[in-house]
Structure 1
Amino acid sequence: MTSLNGKVALVTGGSRGIGAAIARRLADDGARVAITYATSKDKAAAVVAEIEAAGGEAMAIQADNRDGDAVVAAVETAVSAFGRLDILVNNAGIFDIGPIGELTLEDFDRTMDVNVRAVFAAVSAAARHLPEGGRIVSIGSNLAGRVPWPTISLYSLSKAALVGFTKGVARDLGPRNITVNIVHPGSTDTDMNPADGELSDTQRGLMAIPRYNEAGDVAGLVAWLAGPDGRSVTGAEFTIDGGANA
């Protein structure tokens, strides 16, 4: 596929899991891809090597999402290296859990810094570079819309915040034909939540189709939003969770 030929994408948290799958798919579709990583240098290098082995162009940028300045710098580095930026995918995130009353303000600050503040920083920086018809996609969670278990209130709060931000930025950037959307994955088979994990049967019990996502399923939806067929879709939420929130 070559639907993204000539485009440049930045995927935050692209060293593993859903982020790595998104980076590989955008590269397969023709984009040059930059990914960020916090600590997994070797895994990030492996994603870059895989893309390059398939004939694509990629680079890895160290940037901890807790550091807003580092996130902004990553945007500028990608633009400097590739000469432009067409697609921003906000994927990096953390999953702090615990019952209210035990969660601390430090937990709150860490979660909001990574899951919300960094998205604000990346979008603000990218907006200065995105051309007419650019794309922004944030990775939310189906837990933004439904909270089926205790202990996930803080995580759900952070992902729900991205919904309002997505809709607002879609209005801000709409006059430039820049689309801004959010994808809400449900249970997805990654090293953080394997399909054969201790709680996987409990999660499948919520689904209409009792099957975990593959990371590539989420990547395919992001690639569609980033491509030409997604040009009229903005300010929208897309839930991909096997019907868990149905």
Structure 2
Amino acid sequence: MPSTTAGPVALVVGASRGIGRQIAIDLAKNGYAVVVAAKSTTPQAELDKLSPFPPDPNSSQSTITTVTREITLAGGEATAIPVDTTNYESIQRLIAKTIETYARLDVLVYNAGAIYWAPVARTPMKRFQLMQRVNVEGLYGAVQEALSHLKKREGKKEGGRIIVVSPPIYSRFFRGKTAYAIGKVGMSVLVKGLGMDFEREGLVADGMAVSAVWPAVAIESAATEQFTRKDPSYASDLRKPSILSDAVLAMLRAPPSVVNGQLELDEDFLRKHAGVTDFSKYSVVPGASPRRIMPAELPDLTVKEQDDEGMMADSSKL
């Protein structure tokens, strides 16, 4: 039987550790029932033996099972549902199980990601394929399956939100990691294009919006841990994942027209739309001033002929 939760429901894909874990925990603290989704789980027998608990949030011991227990021990509502984002049928089962459990879906956060930074000549085809399947194809599948449940319908005051962890589009991002950039920028293209679909279909007026968020400063995570192991001083250039989580919450509170189709940076969005001026609490090393890794100004992707649609065609109707 579906849960009787009266609050909104959020699905966080890629929530086993790091940024995704923090987003799931903070959504639960703010009244959301959270579906914690990723590939890794912990058997009950092992879960009961984990010490300390919770485990290191950037380690392999942190799974959707441990994150769900963290949330429920703190008084929140959460359900762990495993998913393989390279498998569309697994994504379909995830969405179906979410609806079976809570009978609704209000927020989809897609944080799943595969990473391999190297020049094209040193990026094997298997690595390239994995990144595209996890990053852009996984996102596309999750959106396809979730859309009908996110739309406004009887019993829902407004439409749902989609937030994607993907970057603004600018040329420097491609350098030295082209294969990775193809997938991540592809995710951002989906945000821009789907946002235009929402506008065209009048869904923004119903409360729907799709947005992307990306860190302005490197975040403490499993990905950055490799650098701090080599050089512990690198930690002074890191921020806690709570800054990106706070940005997600701020985006959910913002009017749909403000965030729809936007590719935002966590720090810049919090400064402009949440009134945050002091970011020191997010520094991993107290008193440090982490180096910003994203440009201060980003290119405008629109053109003067933006409103000229030419001979628009809809293949689904042909």
TM-score by length of 2: 0.68
Matched, 1:196 2:248: no
Q: Which residue of 1 aligns with 2:239?
A: 213
> Would you say 1:162 and 2:187 are equivalent positions?
yes
Q: Which segments of 5 or more consecutive residues in structure 2 lack a partner in the other structure?
A: 1-5, 48-62, 153-158, 268-290, 297-318
Matches within 5 A, 1:49-198: 49-132=69-152, 133-141=159-167, 145=170, 147=172, 151-174=176-199, 175-177=202-204, 178-185=208-215, 186-194=217-225, 196-198=228-230
1:80-113 Cα distance to aligned partner (Å, 9 max, x none): 1011000000001010232212323322211100
| Cα distance in 2 between the residues matched to 1:39 and 1:56 | 21
CA distance 1:64–1:199, change in 2 (3 Å): farther
Give 1 or 2 for the bigger CA radius of gyration.
2
Q: What CA distance in whole angstroms lies between the structure 2 residues aligned with 1:211 and 1:106? A: 32
Count of residues paired in the alignment? 234
Greater CA deviation, 145-154 or 235-244?
145-154
Structure 1 residue 148: deviation in Å? 6.6
Distance 2:239 2:106 in 1: 27
| Change beyond 3 A, Cα 1:128–1:225 | same
Structure 1: state its 5+ residue gaps: 205-209
Residue 88 of structure 1 aligns with an amino acid whose one-letter code is: L
Task: Describe the superposition over 1:26-52 as per-residue Cα deviations: whole angstroms up to 9, x where unpaired.
Answer: 111100000111124362111111111
Kept in 1: contact 2:8–2:33 (CA 8 A): yes
The DSSP-based 3-state class of the residue aligned with 1:196 is helix
The change in CA–CA distance for 1:96 and 1:201 in structure 2 (over 3 A counts) is same
Q: Report the CA distance between 1:146 and its aligned residue.
A: 5.3
* Maintained 8 Å contact 1:224/1:230: no
Structure 1 ranges of 4+ moved more than 6 A = 199-202
Q: Is the 8 A contact 2:167 2:188 kept in 1?
A: no
Asked if the contact 1:24/1:47 (under 8 Å) is kept, the reply is yes
Q: AA paired with 1:17?
A: G
Q: Distance in 2 between matches of 1:223 and 1:114?
A: 24
On the 8 A contact 2:173/2:181 being kept in 1, the answer is no
CA distance in 2 between partners of 1:33 and 1:162 (Å): 23
Determine the structure 2 residue equivalent to 1:243.
292
Mean Cα displacement is larger for which, 61-70 or 16-25?
61-70
How far has the Cα of 1:125 moved from its partner?
0.7
Q: If the length of structure 1 is used for normalisation, what is the TM-score?
A: 0.86
Partner of 2:279: none
Confirm or deny: 8 A CA contact 2:35 2:79 kept in the other structure.
Answer: yes
Question: Which amino acid in structure 1 is aligned with residue 292 of structure 2?
Answer: G
Amino acid at match of 2:230: E
Query: Letter of the aligned partner of 2:246 in structure 1?
Result: G
Amino acid at match of 2:147: A
Percent identity over the alignment? 27
Residue 198 of structure 1 and its aligned partner are, at CA, apart by 3.0
Greater shift, 15-24 or 96-105, is seen at: 96-105
Deviation at 1:192, TM superposition (A): 2.5
**Whole-angstrom distance in 1 between the partners of 2:28 and 2:93:** 22
